[in-house]
């Protein structure tokens, strides 16, 4: 037996180089919302899968649009039980937004150190306002690290708080890098679109508050599961 998948997904990270992907598919006819979904492991290298790269502000295409047109995967390649996919997907997202960022923070710390060095090299560190922003970025990174080590409660909302912390921090670091570089940050190194590392950081970090669940979604989760605020009425 096999699962046969037809549908489309946009903003799929690294789909153009992936051999496999996870698909959250509706497998129970007549089910609604989060019920009746299954978490399937699907091979990408087959005739029923088409990947269309999306060109980004950076000029690269890490994100993609993926089309499934009768794509197939074996019946046994389901994570958990059929129909229980939403629970598995929430757990996956929780790891991406929360615990997994401990490794990501190593890269953040390296970027901050390099930016501080760049500020020293260019003389931007002589500006007290920029020095203050660099210090605040270091403090923010320490707060992020401490929070990532907290135990997870039953609500799982810690992952949403973590997502807000790291996405906004990294986006602010991209903005700060442009301030440190000054006017040269507005000019590409060469044709047609040869960007420097800090320019790419700035442009790519604009997506940090969107992918993995937008900041608006995370605030909604916190409001619902932690603060117990009433949900808005659905039309």
96 catalytic? Reply is: yes
Residue 62 exposure: Cα atoms within 13 Å on the Cβ side:
8
As a whole number of angstroms, the longest Cα–Cα distance in the chain is: 67
- Give me 44's structure tokens: 């990408």
Specify whether the CB–CB gap between 98 and 157 falls below 8 A.
no
**Among 62, 81, 96, 111, the one annotated catalytic:** 96
Return d(Cα 131, Cα 16) in angstroms, integer.
41
Angle 134-139-141 from CA coordinates, rounded to 5°: 95
Please state whether the peptide bond connecting residue 90 to the residue before it is cis, i.e. omega within 30 degrees of 0.
no
- φ and ψ of 62, to 5 deg: -70, -30
CA nearest neighbour of 16 among 64, 60, 56: 64
Tokens of 45: 């290298």
Query: DSSP character for 26?
Result: E
Residues with Cβ < 8 Å from 188, sequence gap 6 or more? Answer: 194, 195, 199
Active site residues: 96
């Amino acid at each position: 037996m096999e699962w046969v998948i037809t549908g489309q997904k946009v903003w799929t990270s690294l789909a153009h180089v992936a051999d496999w992907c996870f698909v959250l598919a509706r497998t129970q006819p007549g089910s609604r919302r989060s019920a009746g979904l299954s978490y399937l492991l699907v091979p990408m290298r087959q005739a029923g899968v088409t990947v269309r790269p999306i060109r980004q502000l950076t000029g690269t295409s890490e994100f993609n649009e993926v089309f499934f047109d009768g794509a197939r995967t074996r019946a046994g390649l389901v994570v958990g039980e059929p129909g229980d996919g939403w629970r598995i997907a929430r757990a996956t997202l929780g790891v991406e937004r929360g615990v997994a960022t401990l490794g990501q923070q190593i890269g953040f710390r390296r970027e901050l150190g390099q930016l501080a060095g760049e500020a020293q090299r260019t003389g931007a560190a002589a500006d007290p306002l920029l020095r203050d922003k660099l210090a605040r970025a270091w403090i923010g990174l320490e707060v992020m690290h401490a929070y990532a080590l907290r135990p997870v409660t039953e609500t799982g909302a810690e992952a949403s708080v973590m997502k807000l912390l790291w996405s906004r921090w990294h986006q602010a670091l991209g903005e700060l890098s442009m301030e440190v570089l000054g006017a040269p940050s507005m000019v590409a190194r060469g044709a047609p679109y040869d960007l420097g590392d800090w320019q790419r950081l700035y442009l790519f970090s604009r997506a940090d508050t969107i992918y993995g669940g937008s900041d608006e979604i995370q605030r909604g989760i916190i409001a619902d599961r932690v603060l117990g605020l009433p949900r808005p009425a659905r039309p």
